[in-house]
A and B are shown apart, each in its own frame.
Chain A
């Protein structure tokens, strides 16, 4: 894969949407290109657009068919892409967000499983998870659910064979090399290793979420006392 010079292909997605596929694998650089293209499209097409949905290696562009059509949007994409892909990477770097996490058996029931299969101690697992920055690749699945990557290969763990009926709000999970915080309790199949006391989706706050695609997140291990004082519940 020539990540150095990625290409895009554009396919119809619906009567009012098209999807742009990036030839490069998901990576910080791909995400950066997607964000730059997204920003460029927002600036040039503005009110003609309904929504833009960036993901790991694609960007869905939904438009108003009363105002434009597939062909105008496609031309605009090629136009913006030429600029984005040839100019040096000048899109602003994302924000850096730090989230506190109480890693413990009482909040992270799958810590022993991950430790066992990796041959590491539980504290090593915590240390590996909290010692690096993760990129927000995508947001979806549920309000405020951010797919972060990529965790150290040693603690990458496949999803549970049977998802849990309910994963508590704030749970921090690992699925393969992705990690995420559940912004609300929901069914889930990720391996749970801790709990974050910070509210990650609040409609009454601005911004609604602490991060957007392209930002980076670091987890900071906290003790039980701090977790409770920050409003965490067990």
Chain B
């Protein structure tokens, strides 16, 4: 049988998928143990015990200065920024995408502008954002929005444009106005695509969040990582990175569930 025709079963898929992750963890444990055997004070590859001890201080015990449990206040601060940035971007991507995709006049007027903004590296705008919005929360949220919104608008607009023209003509012969075309034909069909666009934007959104937090912040997952870097505290950085990965996976999974449950017609339901 040809290699391309061998399809794993569900069980095999799960096992195969877990194998590299398990190997990675094992490799880390072996490397960590061997480094500590050579130098018990090693900071580069901390042992799981050291990680748990360091994280216990952040997760369970309140901070001496603020009285807060730092891990949780970091998490909530970051999720709030990320959630705000994603929510604002999603809403505007939907509105602007529909308008640009449906109305040729609007596309002619604003299409070039969106394309221009989309090619500017958002991090290059970060100083401007700090100058305009100050060092508070708005600058960080604004960076996420500027970072992901133009691409989301372009994706949604392109998708609306690519809806079959036959469908638009048909809707018009059924008496639909421009407004009804947007509301009843384009909007419902664009929703699964919008969720897809959000899922794809999650990665860049995290990048911009961590960047903004690293540069100017006093709380947040990115802030903490960059703060403890000064002390080579890998026992905090590694669990934080794993936690960020876990949060990102959970968000992606939730979005996929929403799309599959809410828009079964778009997932080839049979």
A and B co-occur in one complex? no
| A residues whose Cβ falls under 8 Å from a Cβ of B | none
| B residues whose Cβ falls under 8 Å from a Cβ of A | none
